[in-house]
Structure 1
């Protein structure tokens, strides 16, 4: 479900691919970006013809790692800007943890960037020294936690006027993690970017790989093994042994003492300390069995069912279904 602090940005023409991308020397995020204590760009002076473009989406193209402790896998947003006639200010926002990767034509001047969202937002590709504010819910950013949503335009113009003294000129929605901002890019245009390939420095090294890749990683490390019918039978017997027999008469034709055995299609037994990978929601949810004496895993199991022999309780979105 979308967070109520949504804000929008509108539909974008199809991305025009340039014939070449030039990547220049790395520029660390910390050199230009900061978490605002107040929602302002002190001392920023914009030419009268500066335009404000707002863009983003709920999430970018899925990455196989995390960049924060939210329990959500990160996404990548590729942003291309070509606007040679007027200098540009960008307001970018996403809900999920996102690495924004910026490319621009040599004739495009980007004067400032506001990066907002609910979970962590990070950026590569900006010219060194570009004034940048990063404000999102998890860092209590002073500019709020706005992200792209087509149902709510109202927060955009007030925030733009507060920061830049003018309304947003146009809004753009991401299409499969890509956004093209400004005018169409002529064929053969060379796009410039600083540090655009260096998204890995934002990776949370304490977190496992996300989703199925994280489960494979845990199998290889000996933290998990595949679960089978014997594990489900063991669970049913353990639960039955702790429950007193019901004081009810038997039903004719029923099988007395029938065990309630969990059903699952993708199950794992936790063997030692383990952190749930991010992204175990919906079709990616699985089943975990935690034997007695094995510590409760860290992280968020998402919608997965967790059968804990330590408590003989099942937790998670799949428990009722199973």
Structure 2
């Protein structure tokens, strides 16, 4: 048995490494919620989730006041059962971001324990499809950057052998977004993928105009053009454009992904392990997408997602946005355009606890 003896949580603020802007917001800091679970036999699992500036204290309160006390005395091996029990205890706040983020911090800690107990890395225990996955860059594509800045970053990624780059969309006019696309495409040629992201800033009509404006420059996908709950709008757009539609970072339940897939409203799934509630539901979404012949390209959290993308056969890309380097002793390895999943037992994140303590929110 592996009985949980203690379960604790903390909140730490991690500054962004560069200015990050999109069509609706700026990423001012990462509120990082960490959960530590200790079990009999001396094993410790650490999990985490995040917000990008607000709500971290609410996630922490839900964990400390309601969820973590339910874990003590339980068998840490029963990961699915514990996820379901904690989810059931929060019926009045599901489905929603706060609950999913809290569940994710617990679930990733339980998976860290599971992997350490088995002596296996996450990428293998979660599926073991392959260890290396292609990576694309988002850090060089933020909305405030000029076309010249975008071109410089894209050329740097191309020279490093990376699969692609992401350009943020949402300028006041569609032709401005198209000009940003044109500048990058002309600089890199046809071989580099250019992903685009409108961050839920569009209406159906403006999304149709935007898709038409950028389509000549061969975007690999158009991400979150409209609010995530507008499934009908995304379905209409998907029928009207040849650009693949990507969704997922703002969805918090498996059924939301099912509805998108069944209505053909999206053809790329970007499920975020923190926002879906952890590794346990992330894998369910990935396999659901596989049943629809749809690839998974998760949002953010590259340090965790590299292992999950490597685990499943329809895992396609890892998004490069480094955010944990200030609080970890190691960082994700990228070699010849491929992100390499950590091979140590656990989820593969080597936390620097002194650095975290220095950023702890009291």
Bigger Rg, structure 1 or 2:
1
| Bucket of the pairwise TM-score, normalised by the shorter protein | under 0.3
TM-score of the aligned structures, taking structure 2 as reference length? 0.20
Larger helix proportion of the pair: 2
TM-score (norm 1): 0.22
